[in-house]
Amino acid sequence: MTEASSARSSRRHHWRRDVIELAALFTAVAVADAVANTVVHGPSGPVLLCASAAALLATAVFHVWWSRRHENAPPPTDTGATAASPGDRAPAAGGRETTLWRMRTTVRDEPGSLAELCTALATRQVDILSLQTHPLSDGTVDEFLLRAPGSLAPGELTRTVAGAGGRHSWLERADAHDLVDAPTRMLGLATRTALDSAELPLALRQLLGRCTIHSVPARSLTGQPLAEQVPAEGVLEDHTMKFRDPSGGSLTIERPQLPFTPTEFARVRALVELDTRLGQRVPPRREVLTLPEGNEITVRRADTSDLAAAREMHDRCSPRTLALRYHGPVGDADRYLGHLL
């Protein structure tokens, strides 16, 4: 069901209800007028007046009951409705719309702190789908996957968490991919990394969310060192992680909006070590494509053996093309070719 058709259906529903209530109002006025005339001109005026009052009271009680019954009733189902996209509001039990959220907050490392937070979320009808804990020296970072009512605003959710003792809270919309548990996700990312060395940056982004990855070659074409010397075990700072790049040089990961935890650092280090131990891996896969003119071309992954051909391609490119591709001085293009391949 589209939003326009839903809005039209809602307007028709309200229009019919308004007509019924208006008709009931006119009927009540007519009955009241008839009763008033009977009371004034009839012999049993007091009796009819009491009976009218009782009838009006019964009508009011019935109207209140009828209104509440329709307000609490679940919305009608529509077989033509399409499924909601991941992360959007989706119907939950009872016909309510819900929203998936990823939330991270820091609580005191004391017994009962997590229970207090969970109780506060339960009072707002928020369902906890998954929970991961990251112990730190000054507290515990709890990462939740939440299903909250669609009417609950993000600000209200963060205020609820803060009232229960949560500090440095971070909230972001989630989707169906976040429903996968952490061990299963790590196994999948390790498999992708083991099959193809080019999958490491993609696996890291899927693991850490929105982040920036810098891969710097060890040396320039003239032999000058470019990358900084990183210890074998890596470096963890608040918003930065540094490792030795498996292809040489250094690998720097930054996430300004959210600090890294020791657990995330350990997971990233495991993937980097796996890629380093396995060495460079290029899947021997070739795809044959047919152009509109009927010519067939073969597409394969490039590697270091294509360095000469890539430099020849650079010679055929204009300086503007190279500047747009590498976002820097044109002379830096050849310097990065070996590292990229």
pLDDT band at 1 (very low <50, low <70, confident <90, very high): very low
Check if the beta carbon of residue 288 is closer than 8 Å to that of residue 297: yes
Domain ranges of the chain: 3-72, 90-179, 182-278, 286-340
Check if the beta carbon of residue 217 is closer than 8 Å to that of residue 226: yes
Which tokens is 204 given?
């890291």
Mean pLDDT for 283-291 is 85
Identify the bridge partners of residue 168 per DSSP, sorted by sequence position.
none
Check if the beta carbon of residue 251 is closer than 8 Å to that of residue 215: yes
* Amino acid found at 95: G
CATH number 3.30.70.2170 given to 90-179: no
What is the rounded average pLDDT for all residues in the chain?
79
Range in 90-99, 298-307, 309-318, 323-332 with the lowest mean pLDDT: 90-99
SS3 20: helix
> What angle, 0 to 180 degrees and rounded to 10, lies between the N-to-C axes of helices 332-340 and 319-326?
50
Measure the CA angle with vertex 198, ends 193 and 199; round to 5°. Answer: 40
For β-strands 240-244 and 250-254, DSSP reports them as antiparallel
CA distance 56 to 246: 84
CA distance 122 to 116: 10
Burial of 103: CB neighbours in 10 Å, binned 0-12, 13-18, 19+: buried
Residue 198's nearest CA partner among 212, 182, 181, 215 is 215
Residue 224 has pLDDT above 80, yes or no: no
Cα dihedral value 271, 273, 274, 278, nearest 10: 140
In this predicted structure, what is the pLDDT of residue 126? 92
In this predicted structure, what is the pLDDT of residue 43? 63
pLDDT band at 73 (very low <50, low <70, confident <90, very high): very low
Check if the beta carbon of residue 147 is closer than 8 Å to that of residue 126: yes
Q: Which residue has the tokens 């080019």?
A: 198
> What is the CB-side half-sphere exposure of residue 133 using CA atoms within 13 A?
9
SS3 150: coil
CA distance 72 to 70: 5
Mean pLDDT for 7-14 is 49
* Amino acid found at 62: F
SS3 250: strand
SS3 260: coil
Dump pLDDT digits (tens) for 50-60. Answer: 776 777 777 77
pTM over 0.75: no
